[in-house]
Amino acid sequence: MEKIIENKEVYTSKENNEVVLPITQNDNRERKGVEQIIYPIISDGDSIGTIILMSKDQNSKMGETELKIASSAAGFLSSQMEV
């Protein structure tokens, strides 16, 4: 995750052979997740965080729409930090 933030990369599990980065754990300490989009929040040229969209549903597939939602959210938060 740190590498993604530092490199200002957009990460999607779909483009990375369905590999989901471990972010959360449940009560049994199992890591869950099927689909994932990680989009950087960039303010004044610096990466200050990420927007993460995750799905646990096996039948759910994230696509261009979810990527655009993450992009819009990151852009909005970035503009709020520059004020």
17-61 confidence digits (pLDDT tens): 777 777 766 666 665 667 889 999 998 888 999 999 988 777 778
E-strand spans in 1-83?
A: 11-12, 35-43, 46-55
Other beta carbons within 10 angstroms of residue 46's beta carbon come to 11
Per-residue pLDDT at 72: 96
Number of domain units in the chain = 1
Range of the domain at 66: 2-81
> Pairing mode, if any, of strands 11-12 and 35-43?
antiparallel
User: Is it the case that residue 67 has pLDDT exceeding 90?
Assistant: yes
CATH number (domain holding residue 70): 3.30.450.40
Per-residue pLDDT at 40: 94
Return contacts of 15-23, CB within 8 angstroms, 24+ apart: 20/54, 23/52, 23/54
